[in-house]
């Protein structure tokens, strides 16, 4: 299967991801990168945040903080840790949420590397997440942080 490597770089972050050939990317007008398959059901949004390179960052702690801020409660065993190529770690979880009366499948992750945090948020209608959710997991596992100067 053909793939495309996409790089994102701005004042907040520097990273690359590998996308299947059918997937596209475009910069979000406000912040980050939008990733999608025109034939797919969902949208993956990657939003970088810069941090002091000396800060000790824990991907799972950052993910739990994000979830708590959005009043989403998960058990500890519902978060998956994924080691990234190069420096970095990703904490990932999936859950069902209700949006405008419709149930939606959500996959949320936080990747960390020295000086950077990357928030990943994917959603699609509940029941429509196969096989796209596995593709999104692969995209997220391909995150490679660049060196920030």
CATH code, 3-145: 3.40.1000.10
Q: Is residue 8 scored above 90 in pLDDT? A: yes
Q: What's the number of CA atoms in the CB half-sphere (13 Å) around residue 29?
A: 0
Q: Whats the size of the chain, residue-wise?
A: 149
pLDDT band with cut points at 50, 70 and 90 for residue 71: confident
How far, in Å, CA of 82 to CA of 143, rounded? 10
Take residue 147 and report the two structure tokens written for it: 């060196």
CB 116 within 8 A of CB 145: yes
- pTM for this one? 0.90
How far, in Å, CA of 108 to CA of 128, rounded? 16
Q: Which of 58-62, 86-90, 112-116, 139-143 has the lowest mean pLDDT?
A: 86-90
Q: Which residues pair with 96 in a beta bridge?
A: 105
Q: Is residue 95 scored above 70 in pLDDT? A: yes
- Tens-place pLDDT, residues 98-121: 888 899 999 999 999 989 999 999
Take residue 144 and report the two structure tokens written for it: 């490679």
- Tens-place pLDDT, residues 37-50: 989 999 999 999 99
What residue spans define the domains of the chain?
3-145
pLDDT value of residue 148: 57
Work out the mean pLDDT of the chain and round it to a whole number. 89
DSSP structure string for 33-88: EEEEETTSS-EEEEEEEE--TTS---HHHHHHHHHHHTT----GGG-EEEEPSSS-
Unique residue bearing structure tokens 């936080």: 110
């Amino acid at each position: 299967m053909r793939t495309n490597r996409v790089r994102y770089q701005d004042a907040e972050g520097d990273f690359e991801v590998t996308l299947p050939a059918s997937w596209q990317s475009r910069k979000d007008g406000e912040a980050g990168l939008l990733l999608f398959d025109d034939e797919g059901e969902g949208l993956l949004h990657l939003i970088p945040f810069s941090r002091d390179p000396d800060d000790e960052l824990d991907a799972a702690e950052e993910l739990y903080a994000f979830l708590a801020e959005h009043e989403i409660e998960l058990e500890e065993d519902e978060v998956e840790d994924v080691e990234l190529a190069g420096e970095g770690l990703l904490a990932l979880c999936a859950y069902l949420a209700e949006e405008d009366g419709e149930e939606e499948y959500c996959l949320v992750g936080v990747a960390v590397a020295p000086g950077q945090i990357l928030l990943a948020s994917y959603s699609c209608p509940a029941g429509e997440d196969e096989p796209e959710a596995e593709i999104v997991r692969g995209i997220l596992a391909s995150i490679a942080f660049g060196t920030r100067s």
